[in-house]
Structure 1
Amino acid sequence: MASPTLLRWIGTHLLLFLLQISAVGATDESALILTPSEPIDATHTKVSDIVEDMARRVDRFFGNDRAFEEQNDTALQIRFDFGSDEGELARLNSSVRAKVALPGTEERLRLVLESDPDLPARDAPLDDPLRSFGESSDYTLGLEGRAQASGWQLRPSLGVRAKWPLDPYARLLAIRYIDLGDWVSRVSGTASWFSTDGVGLDGTVDFDRRVNDDILFRSASSLAWRHDTSQTNAAQVLSLFQRLASQASLAYEIGAGADNDPQWEINNYFARLRYRRLVYKTWAYVDVQPTIAWPEDNDFQEELSLLVRLELNFGKAYR
């Protein structure tokens, strides 16, 4: 566990960074953004932009975490999940997350409320669709900043886990898109510290490719480490997102999870189908996710599960 002096130093400098972000005006923004010195081929740029734009639209439609991480406007998302494993009764889980842009900060500072983002990854595989079921319903409330440096989007935040006694945290999220011609890669990394759990590190590398106007392929590799458990979880997921109509899409996913407890080995394989449909105006969605999994703790025997989700979204992107 880090010393109190070090933790105060980290917290103080993160707070100063947040305040500096809120004070930076439009004329100073160039100091944080490095402009390429050489011209970029127009065709290459156009193709990459099309892939990146398609990936963002897919993430927004499916309500993926990527879309929430990059949300700059005020937004509210409410989810009601009904999940059931084979032979078990259905369980209900709900979650809320919101971002509120603070006035007078040119959208550089936001209040962020969400279900504790650290809990699901602590003991469950990253590829488990029902990993949040049975977890406590702790929430975090924090202040998030926004900046750019050398092509990276930076999202520093300070806040508390809303339980008693209050559990302060500090977090830095960094995101970068890399153009690779017909492919676009998204690299993201998060370093976090909670006073009760210590340090956590998360990293994700996605590769997106547009197959045609209606289909996007994605390869996602994730890694998560927690100090308090000294365990590292990894996952590899391959996805095909298919637009069926303007109000309905399918996602086909296969993947595997692994951990290093006590040594590196695969602990789960899975195949999942996600059907998502816009059911009311522009902001109410229904998600149906049947999954077949082969977990190590069941001797890699087949297990079936079903997740049904009602999701309500409010904000500029859903008007």
Structure 2
Amino acid sequence: MGKIPLPTMLLVLLLPYAGGLIADDSDLPDWTIERIKPVHEGISRWVDSSSRNLDGFFGSDDESLSVRNKSYLRIGTDFDWEESEGFSTDPSIRFKLDMPTTKERLRLIIESEPEESRGTLSEQGSGRLRDDQTSSDSTVIGLSRLSKKDKTRHWDTRVGAGVKFRLPLDPYMRLSSERLWNLGEGPWQLESYNRLSWFNSDGYSARSRWDIGKPLDATRHLRFLTNIQWQEDEDTLEFSESVEINQVLSRRSAMRYAAVVVGNSASRPQVNDYYLLTQYRRNLHKDILFADIIPELHFPRDASFDPRWALSLRLEMYFSGNVIDRQREQRLNEELESRGSSPEARR
């Protein structure tokens, strides 16, 4: 019997647990939930109150306390293994602070993995960062002005600026635009995302993504994606083409199957990597904790297109005001029920 690849062995061990139905909305044991809950609620309350207080300072104090706020904090860790490279871990944090009542519609962004720091398309793979990009030198903080336009009718354009944390501070500017088209009477949709960036230390960069797809049935969606990227420090045009099928397995789990080709140069195109990947995503606990298992099979040019396995295990936890809103709604419902007036009765 041939040697079983490490990714296959890990999947065999992890998938039964990841897909288990320990509870309707959670896969975690009770003792874990009891430890996570107070910490998660405390941080979520801080995210919610901070965003509303700052929004009230710049915008409308009355409206900021009741309007829906989409601020969130996401903390994640990737455990990566690559054949011939070994194991590595990549922590990440992303903080989006929304200010919806501010006249100019501002969003405060703090992120440790901005698009501009993710390297070339070949290095990105399924989203892994290079080792030298996981330090605090890649953390940026800035403000982004949000557009109120409907991207199905107009281009949704955003302008942002800020600094990258390093000494000396590294200022940056960004211009992003998005558009969504419904193609004819059928189910096909075309989406475009584009960003032009300038960092004082790295110079200019530009990236564009074109995504066309349609639902195949109630649970599967087909997508064709084209990515184009140029960075001044690399000074070459890169491209990637991929086809994906995204499948909803259950209310809390989904699968993605993809085949990707990555290359560079416009005058003399050259393919640098072919790879296949499968991504299993599981909502482990109440839309708060998520896990991803991503096995990949690469055929890179620098290995003479010989197959190379890779595996990523990713954990992400979200902190947002949605948790606080649900608690408020639950308390209100309990209070109404105690008075003999439920929301259903009032309707």
> Which residue of structure 2 lines up, in the alignment, with residue 289 of structure 1?
294
Gaps of 5+ in 2: 1-57, 60-68, 327-347
Q: Flag the structure with larger Rg.
A: 2
Alignment of structure 1 residues 72-151 onto 2, 5 Å = 73-102=70-99, 104-105=101-102, 108-125=105-122, 128-129=125-126, 131-136=128-133, 137=135, 138-148=138-148, 151=154
Alignment of structure 1 residues 1-319 onto 2, 5 Å = 73-102=70-99, 104-105=101-102, 108-125=105-122, 128-129=125-126, 131-136=128-133, 137=135, 138-148=138-148, 151-180=154-183, 181-260=186-265, 263-316=268-321
Q: Once superposed, what is the RMSD of the aligned Cα atoms?
A: 2.4
Note the C-alpha offset of 1:200: 0.8
Greater fraction helix: 2
Greater fraction strand: 1
Decide which moves more: 201-210 or 224-233: 224-233
Note the C-alpha offset of 1:279: 0.9
Decide which moves more: 208-217 or 133-142: 133-142
Q: How many equivalent residue pairs?
A: 251
> Which residue of structure 1 lines up, in the alignment, with residue 54 of structure 2?
none
Gaps of 5+ in 1: 1-21, 24-71
Whether the 8 Å contact between 1:185 and 1:205 is mirrored in structure 2 is: yes
Note the C-alpha offset of 1:148: 4.5
Whether the 8 Å contact between 2:189 and 2:214 is mirrored in structure 1 is: yes
Note the C-alpha offset of 1:315: 2.3
Superposition TM-score, scaled by structure 2 size: 0.67
Note the C-alpha offset of 1:120: 4.4
Note the C-alpha offset of 1:130: 5.4
Q: Distance in 2 between matches of 1:120 and 1:259?
A: 18
Amino acid at match of 2:80: G
Q: Any idea what the Cα deviations from partners look like across 1:245-303, whole Å, max 9, x if unmatched?
A: 10111000111000129942010000000001111122101100000000111111100
Alignment CA distance shift 1:247-1:219 (3 Å)? same
Note the C-alpha offset of 1:227: 1.6
Superposition TM-score, scaled by structure 1 size: 0.73
Q: Distance in 1 between matches of 2:322 and 2:305?
A: 42
Decide which moves more: 262-271 or 285-294: 262-271
Whether the 8 Å contact between 1:83 and 1:91 is mirrored in structure 2 is: yes
Q: Distance in 1 between matches of 2:273 and 2:88?
A: 22
